[in-house]
Chain A
């Protein structure tokens, strides 16, 4: 396949996903916490599955920066 053909193919694949994922994200964003809202509490465990953290344990002690992401 030519480079143009490969680029077109890749772009078509990317755009096929982009529409539906963005729609879902915009839907979720409507109810996501905004500045001034109480941050929804949660408890999660670390990569070993043994140590847990609860967001509210920091209230009154330290501000918290949440960094969301994945490896891919």
Chain B
């Protein structure tokens, strides 16, 4: 189950927001583009970029976010966290995370910490259950 498929299936009933946050593996950080790791990463996560430095300004972050939006083509509009990483830290979102927020503004589903607990299938289950409740 991919995010893209979830979006295609539910975007009429659910508002999807892609929130771009601090880089997980920039070249000048926890880079996974070294030698053998790069080869493994290309196999496991072919769409992940290993060619970007950590943005130091909001303009740089927006530019990388734009490249990401274009490359992934999920169809989901991307919004960019400010350089203070406030939304990222409030939601403990780094490196990647999923939430479902209900009509009342309350959290319906809080996915586990990514990457291992980034599970679109669980979000799908939460969406389906929630839509039954509110219909």
Question: For the complex, what is the distance from the CA of A38 to the CA of B102, rounded to whole Å?
Answer: 9
Q: Report chain B residues within 8 Å CB of A55.
A: 17, 101, 105
- A66 & B91 in contact (Cβ 8 Å cutoff): yes
- A62 & B97 in contact (Cβ 8 Å cutoff): no
Contact of B65 among A6, A21, A35, A47 (CB under 8 A): A47
Question: For the complex, what is the distance from the CA of A70 to the CA of B14, rounded to whole Å?
Answer: 22
Instruction: Tell me the number of A-to-B contacts counted with CB atoms below 8 Å.
Output: 205
Q: Report chain A residues within 8 Å CB of B114.
A: 68-69
- A35 & B23 in contact (Cβ 8 Å cutoff): no
DSSP majority for the A interface? mixed
- B98 & A67 in contact (Cβ 8 Å cutoff): yes
- B15 & A48 in contact (Cβ 8 Å cutoff): no
CB neighbors of B among A8-27 (8 A): 9-10, 13-14, 17-18, 21, 25-26
How many chain A residues have a CB neighbour from B under 8 Å?
51
Q: Report chain A residues within 8 Å CB of B113.
A: 25-26, 29
- A63 & B19 in contact (Cβ 8 Å cutoff): no
Q: Report chain A residues within 8 Å CB of B130.
A: 63
Contact of B103 among A31, A48, A53, A60 (CB under 8 A): A60
- A63 & B88 in contact (Cβ 8 Å cutoff): no
Q: From residue A39, how far is it (CB to closest CB) to chain B in Å?
A: 4
- A68 & B15 in contact (Cβ 8 Å cutoff): no
- B36 & A47 in contact (Cβ 8 Å cutoff): no
Contact of A47 among B13, B25, B66 (CB under 8 A): B66
- The CB with the most chain B CB atoms within 10 A, among A33, A55, A62, A71, is that of A71
Top 8 A-B pairs ranked by shortest CB distance? A68-B93, A32-B92, A71-B68, A28-B92, A47-B66, A44-B79, A17-B30, A69-B96
Binding site for B on A (CB under 8 A): 3, 6-7, 9-10, 13-14, 17-18, 21, 25-26, 28-29, 31-42, 44-49, 52-53, 55-56, 58-72
